[in-house]
């Protein structure tokens, strides 16, 4: 009888830290507790007996309070070159009782360590792929811990500071206090097309993980990091928030930015002037949209969904800042005291002041 087919995972990562430090982060309780769970989870408990034959145990806890416990035995510890240990999920886990093996080589390279990991013995490709996601996210956290640049070493936002959607994502990152690297790039450039199949900005990378669509990027940032939640607490507020995000994506961006603001910035009319007919049609569509926002802010106060800032406000604020900068938009908004009050509040926030579009 043939042996059952086994699946294995190979990951390699460059970490800007000496290999002793990287090695120690794998076998030291205080360090493991800071990175050995995917983003959005926490290490609730951790114990390590770092010698061949010694055991370790890591208890990870999700935001919802579910606990995932893994443990195993060290089979090789050659600091700082090589580490091997078994890996077995415990408790109610589809992989419970099934032992896999992790082998890690730490190779000194220019300015840091090349980490080469093999995780072998998976009974199915799906189990291997699930672990790949978990490792990618945990290794991002290891990077945050060991690289002086913190999460800016793994998180890159690709976009243009003048883009309202890019600003929404940047404001979300700032509100959560997450460090990131902004990689300036234009829509449809090869850099963004490598992340976003339709070439729109922004896109985001966190190590091996990439994402596109601003609301998905914000969701990732909100759930992967501590800091104030950008998602309202009650179902009524959460769905209200989703409603405004959808309104921006489905209606407001098209009329207010694409057909109105951009007609002033990149005029397409005769003699290089803004096309009056395009502007008039856009203003016609914007009028009831702004009126709906005005009624919403009159009712809800400074924020569109709930009593604190949410995705909804982050989507709306960069667009209104542009609309107000052009004559018809300024006239419409001058009659809308509730929008102006709420915008005055959001414009005080560091997330708004530090993400002003760079012209040029």
Rounded distance between C-alpha atoms, residue 128 and residue 17, angstroms = 28
Contact between 138 and ligand GSH by CB under 6 A: the answer reads: no
Contact between 191 and ligand GSH by CB under 6 A: the answer reads: no
Backbone angles phi, psi at 76, to 5 degrees: -155, 135
Separation of first and last alpha carbons in the chain: 69
Looking only at the bridges linking them, the beta strands covering 181-184 and 155-159 are parallel
Please report how close the Cβ of residue 187 comes to ligand GSH at its closest, in angstroms. 3
Contact between 71 and ligand GSH by CB under 6 A: the answer reads: no
Contact between 200 and ligand GSH by CB under 6 A: the answer reads: yes
- 201, 293, 317, 346: which one binds ligand GSH (CB under 6 A): 201
* CA distance to 53, 228, 231, 352, per residue, from 223 (Å): 37, 10, 9, 21
Place of tokens 């507020």: 237
The strand order across the sheet containing 203-206 reads 181-184, 155-159, 203-206, 209-212
Contact between 163 and ligand GSH by CB under 6 A: the answer reads: yes
Q: Which is nearer to ligand GSH, 142 or 319 (CB)?
A: 319
Please report how close the Cβ of residue 86 comes to ligand GSH at its closest, in angstroms. 43
Place of tokens 């120690």: 24
Residue 228 class from Cβ within 10 Å (0-12 exposed, 13-18 middle, 19+ buried)? exposed
Rounded distance between C-alpha atoms, residue 304 and residue 339, angstroms = 10
Q: Hey, what are 332's tokens?
A: 């419409």
Rounded distance between C-alpha atoms, residue 321 and residue 244, angstroms = 17
Which part of the chain contacts ligand GSH (CB under 6 A), choosing from 70-78, 176-184, 212-220, 298-306?
A: 212-220
Q: Which is nearer to ligand GSH, 38 or 203 (CB)?
A: 203
User: Which of 110, 92, 122 shows the shortest CA–CA distance to 18?
Assistant: 110
Please report how close the Cβ of residue 186 comes to ligand GSH at its closest, in angstroms. 9
Contact between 75 and ligand GSH by CB under 6 A: the answer reads: no
Contact between 219 and ligand GSH by CB under 6 A: the answer reads: no
Q: Which is nearer to ligand GSH, 11 or 209 (CB)?
A: 209
Rounded distance between C-alpha atoms, residue 32 and residue 47, angstroms = 9
- 213, 223, 285, 302: which one binds ligand GSH (CB under 6 A): 213
Please report how close the Cβ of residue 226 comes to ligand GSH at its closest, in angstroms. 24
Please report how close the Cβ of residue 201 comes to ligand GSH at its closest, in angstroms. 4
- 86, 249, 308, 338: which one binds ligand GSH (CB under 6 A): 249
Contact between 255 and ligand GSH by CB under 6 A: the answer reads: no
Contact between 254 and ligand GSH by CB under 6 A: the answer reads: no
- 69, 113, 140, 214: which one binds ligand GSH (CB under 6 A): 214
Q: Which residues lie near ligand GSH (CB under 6 A)? A: 163-165, 187, 200-201, 213-215, 249
């Amino acid at each position: 009888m043939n042996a059952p087919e086994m699946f294995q995972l190979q990951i390699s990562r460059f970490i800007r830290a000496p290999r002793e430090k990287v090695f120690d982060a794998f076998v030291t309780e205080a360090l493991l507790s800071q990175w050995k769970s995917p983003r959005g989870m926490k290490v609730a408990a951790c114990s390590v007996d770092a010698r061949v034959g010694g055991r370790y145990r890591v208890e990870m806890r999700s935001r919802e309070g579910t606990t995932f416990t893994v443990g195993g035995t060290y089979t090789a510890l050659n600091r700082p070159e090589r580490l091997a240990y078994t890996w077995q999920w415990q408790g109610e886990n589809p992989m419970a009782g099934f032992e896999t093996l992790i082998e890690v080589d730490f190779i000194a390279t220019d300015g840091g360590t090349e980490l080469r990991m093999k995780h072998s013995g998976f009974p199915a490709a799906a189990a291997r792929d699930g672990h790949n996601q978990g490792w990618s996210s945990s290794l991002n956290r290891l990077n945050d811990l060991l690289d002086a640049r913190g999460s800016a070493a793994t998180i890159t936002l690709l976009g243009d500071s003048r883009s309202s959607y890019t600003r929404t994502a940047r404001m979300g990152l700032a509100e959560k206090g997450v460090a990131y690297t902004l990689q300036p790039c234009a829509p449809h450039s090869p850099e963004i097309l490598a992340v976003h199949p339709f070439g729109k900005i922004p896109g985001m990378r966190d190590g091996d993980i990439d994402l596109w669509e601003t609301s998905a990027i914000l969701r990732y940032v909100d759930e992967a990091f501590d800091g104030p939640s950008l998602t309202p607490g009650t179902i009524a507020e959460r769905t209200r928030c989703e409603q405004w995000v959808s309104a921006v994506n489905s209606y407001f961006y098209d009329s207010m930015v694409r057909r109105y603001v951009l007609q002033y910035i990149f005029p397409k009319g005769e003699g290089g002037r803004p096309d009056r007919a395009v502007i008039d049609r856009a203003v016609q569509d914007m009028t009831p949209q702004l009126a709906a926002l005005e009624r919403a802010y009159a009712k809800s106060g400074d924020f569109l969904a709930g009593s604190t800032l949410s995705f909804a406000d982050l989507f709306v604020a960069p667009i209104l800042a542009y609309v107000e900068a052009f004559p018809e938009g300024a006239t419409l908004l001058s009659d809308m005291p509730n929008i102006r009050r709420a915008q005055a509040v959001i414009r005080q926030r560091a997330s708004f002041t530090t993400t002003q579009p760079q012209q040029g």
